[in-house]
Amino acid sequence: MKSNILILDDNHSVLTALEMLLQTEFENVFCLKNPNILISTLQQQDIDIVLLDMNFKAGMNTGNEGIYWLNQIQEHDPSISVVMITAYGDIELAVKAVKEGAFDFVLKPWDNNKLISTLHAAIKLRKSKMENISLLKTTHALKQELKSNSQKIIGQSESMRKVMEMVRKVAVTDANVFITGENGTGKELIAHEIHNYSKRSKEVMLSVDMGAISESLFESELFGHSKGSFTDAKEDRTGKFEAAHKGTLFLDEIGNLSLSLQAKILTAVQNRTIIKVGSNTPVPIDIRLISATNRDLKPMISNGQFREDLLYRINTITIELPPLRDRGSDILLLAEFYLQKYASKYDKYGLKISQKAMQKLMDYKWPGNIRELQHSIEKAVILAEDKVLNEFSFNLTDNSNVPDKTLSNKTIEKMEKEMILNSINKEKGNISAVAKSLGITRQTLYNKLKKHNI
């Protein structure tokens, strides 16, 4: 076996006999008579198993010395398997040793086959512990990398301030969160922010683009499968729900799911269990669910395209992200952030954006939101020949006369309510000024405020 064993016994004859027996079973066999050099030996050698005598002083048979050194080994390296050996067949002593963390207990005189079998089993436990330690280290490293790569949310506008206030309040709970907003508004960033401020922040957060998973692979991707459950299932696979256990699962673009797939998600969320493909055994899951979509689900529910009961399950709290065009000077803050990011990436330090270019960025409607702004800045940096990016550095389509796509899904009542709210914000709550700017009387305005519950 490619493993090392350390035998600790004060009897020279016992050490010799065990060394002869085990030298063909282990790669290296180390023998010690003095327990006082045990820890220093463990520090110098890579030991997998310790075969430890329980009594060292003549006339002593309490086993206290063995228990003491067992505890010392565990304190040094808890993954080392320890097998106790003694000449006294005291069951209580055996139970005490196992309770203290010993793998097993062997009596003198020992049976060679039984001893070797016990040591082989101890090696398997040691390897299992080492694999778990390695997995934990890898998982920790991945979590740290994901956290370090997560982008800071940038924005000082009133709309984003309200969003972040909601994020802080919701994050500390385990409530399911539903994030809405146009494409490119940063829904996944908000999901990461919620996770980072939650009690689950030390666990993993997994993101799944629901629109990118084909129906044939949906159950395998989300719930996992057992080996042999279908033609290409050559090994067991853990699905995203199980992999996110104790952490957060982010389901992006959940509005793109078919009704049959919505039913499967609903069952998993309701029962807090999943069943792998090819298995009948329920697997319990403990996740914090965050979902997102750029679609308006209410008309989809009315048209029978989205399950109302699923919406109730996923939107305990709803957070709506504003489009970039409604975030005012946040546009310039984000532009400066991406300017510095890509100037560093492409070794073009010292770049600045001219005043005219800033105004151009502010005037643009940004139908692609933050994602479009990021792409525009990166392109401008790559093509930059001077230290100043001017208005011609940004090839933006003039969409000032293009109807806002979001209006097509709005009723006249919704548009009227938005106009009133925008005017109230602009006039800082001055009702007379609001009525004047809207071209209506104060009484008419009051009637409309009551109508729209403003």
- CA distance readout (Å), 335 to 365, 377, 395: 14, 7, 15
**Tokens standing for residue 14:** 């016992």
Kind and range of the H or E element at 390? Answer: none
- For the stretch 163-170, contacts whose Cβ atoms lie closer than 8 Å and that sit 24 or more positions apart, written own/partner, are 163/190, 163/319, 163/320, 163/321, 163/322, 164/193, 166/317, 166/319, 167/193, 167/194, 167/197, 167/319, 168/197, 170/194, 170/317, 170/319
Q: Quick: pLDDT tens for 233-289.
A: 778 888 999 999 999 999 999 999 999 999 999 999 999 999 998 888 899 999 999
Average confidence (pLDDT) over 359-368: 95
**Tokens standing for residue 326:** 């409604």
DSSP letters for 79-122: TSEEEEEES---HHHHHHHHHTT-SEEEESSPPHHHHHHHHHHH
| pLDDT at residue 378, as a whole number | 95
Domains and CATH numbers, the chain: 4-130 (3.40.50.2300), 159-320 (3.40.50.300), 324-393 (1.10.8.60), 410-451 (1.10.10.60)
Instruction: Give SS3 for 173.
Output: coil
| pLDDT at residue 148, as a whole number | 53
Instruction: With a cut of 90, say whether residue 326 has pLDDT above it.
Output: yes
Q: For the CA atoms of 432, 437, 439, 444, what is the dihedral angle to 10 degrees?
A: -40
CB 241 within 8 A of CB 219: no
Gyration radius (Cα) of the chain, Å: 33
Who's near 325: CB < 8 A, 6+ residues apart?
364, 365, 366
User: Please, how many CA atoms are within 13 Å of residue 52, restricted to the half-sphere of its CB?
Assistant: 33
For the chain, the average pLDDT equals 87
User: How far apart are alpha carbons 406 and 369 in whole angstroms?
Assistant: 13
Sheet containing 317-320: which strands, arranged edge to edge? 205-209, 248-252, 288-293, 177-180, 317-320
CB 72 within 8 A of CB 39: yes
Greatest mean pLDDT among 125-134, 201-210, 411-420, 437-446 lies in 201-210
Handedness of CA 63, 66, 72, 76 (dihedral sign): negative
pTM over 0.75: no
Average confidence (pLDDT) over 147-164: 81
User: How far apart are alpha carbons 183 and 374 in whole angstroms?
Assistant: 13
Q: How confident is the model at residue 402 (pLDDT cuts 50, 70, 90)?
A: very low
Q: Quick: pLDDT tens for 49-108.
A: 999 988 776 555 566 788 889 999 999 999 999 998 877 666 677 778 788 899 988 888
Cβ-based neighbour number of residue 428 at 10 Å: 8
Give bridge partners of residue 277 from the DSSP assignment.
Answer: 225
Amino acid of residue 144: Q
User: How far apart are alpha carbons 245 and 241 in whole angstroms?
Assistant: 7
% of the chain exceeding 70 in pLDDT: 91
| pLDDT at residue 348, as a whole number | 92
Average confidence (pLDDT) over 355-373: 95
Q: For the CA atoms of 366, 371, 375, 381, what is the dihedral angle to 10 degrees?
A: 90
List helix spans (H) across 8-90. Answer: 12-22, 38-44, 64-76
Instruction: With a cut of 70, say whether residue 222 has pLDDT above it.
Output: yes
- CA distance readout (Å), 250 to 156, 263, 437: 26, 18, 43
Smallest Cα–Cα separation from 293: which of 276, 310, 278, 280? 310
Q: Quick: pLDDT tens for 274-289.
A: 999 888 889 999 999 9
% of the chain exceeding 90 in pLDDT: 58
Place of tokens 């305005």: 445
Instruction: With a cut of 90, say whether residue 177 has pLDDT above it.
Output: yes
Strands 177-180 and 288-293: what pairing? parallel
| pLDDT at residue 395, as a whole number | 87
| pLDDT at residue 418, as a whole number | 82
Output the 3-class SS for 197-265.
CCCCCCCCEEEEEHHHCCHHHHHHHHHEECCCCCCCCCCCEECHHHHCCCCEEEEECHHHCCHHHHHHH
Helix-strand-coil split of the chain, %, nearest 5: 50, 15, 35
DSSP letters for 174-187: ---EEEE--TTS-H
